[in-house]
Amino acid sequence: MKPRPAPSTRRGATLIEMSVVICVLLALMSTGLYFSNQIGHWKAGKEAAETLRAVYAAQRMYLADHPTAAVGTLTQEKLLPYMPNHPSVMPTITSLDDQELDINVAVSPPVVSDGNGTYDPSGSSSDSLWDVGE
């Protein structure tokens, strides 16, 4: 009869095994934080698009009531009574770097204005993020 090998006396993890586990956990956490930030940007874009859609609907209702009015003559004060839920002031949009942006209502569809021109960090005017889309 052959003697049995002695059971292993190893009771813990080596330094290399612990380092690998820590690296994997750090990689998973950083990936999660990156995607969490991107989801926040997407959510801000969708909220901006919803606000712009409400302003666009107010534009169309105002122009239906005033068929001779030109889009270029529209102001926020003229559209305010036509906004859903009748807000007391025209809604603003917050940019990705937390700046308050205005809505240019003198064009159709309305666009987000940052003072220098149209603000659309998505880079596409048809994706319905930061714009009304097509």
Cis amide prior to 110 (ω within 30 degrees)? no
CA distance 85 to 15: 62
User: Which residue has tokens 């102001």?
Assistant: 75
Going from N- to C-terminal start, the domains of the chain cover 19-113
Phi, psi torsion values for 118, nearest 5 degrees: -75, 135
**Over residues 7-27, mean pLDDT:** 83
Give the per-residue pLDDT at 6.
63
pLDDT for 19-60, tens place per residue? Answer: 999 999 999 998 888 887 788 888 888 888 899 899 999 999
CA distance 112 to 104: 6
pLDDT for 112-124, tens place per residue? Answer: 888 788 888 877 7
Give the per-residue pLDDT at 129.
78
Give SS3 for 9.
coil
Q: What is the pTM of this model?
A: 0.71
User: Which residue has tokens 């090998």?
Assistant: 5
Give the per-residue pLDDT at 90.
87
Give the per-residue pLDDT at 43.
86
Give the per-residue pLDDT at 60.
92
Helix residue spans in the chain (DSSP H): 15-65, 76-79
CA distance 133 to 131: 5
CA distance 5 to 3: 6
Residue 88 neighbours by CB distance under 10 Å:
6
111 DSSP β-pair partners:
104
Q: What is the mean pLDDT of the chain?
A: 85
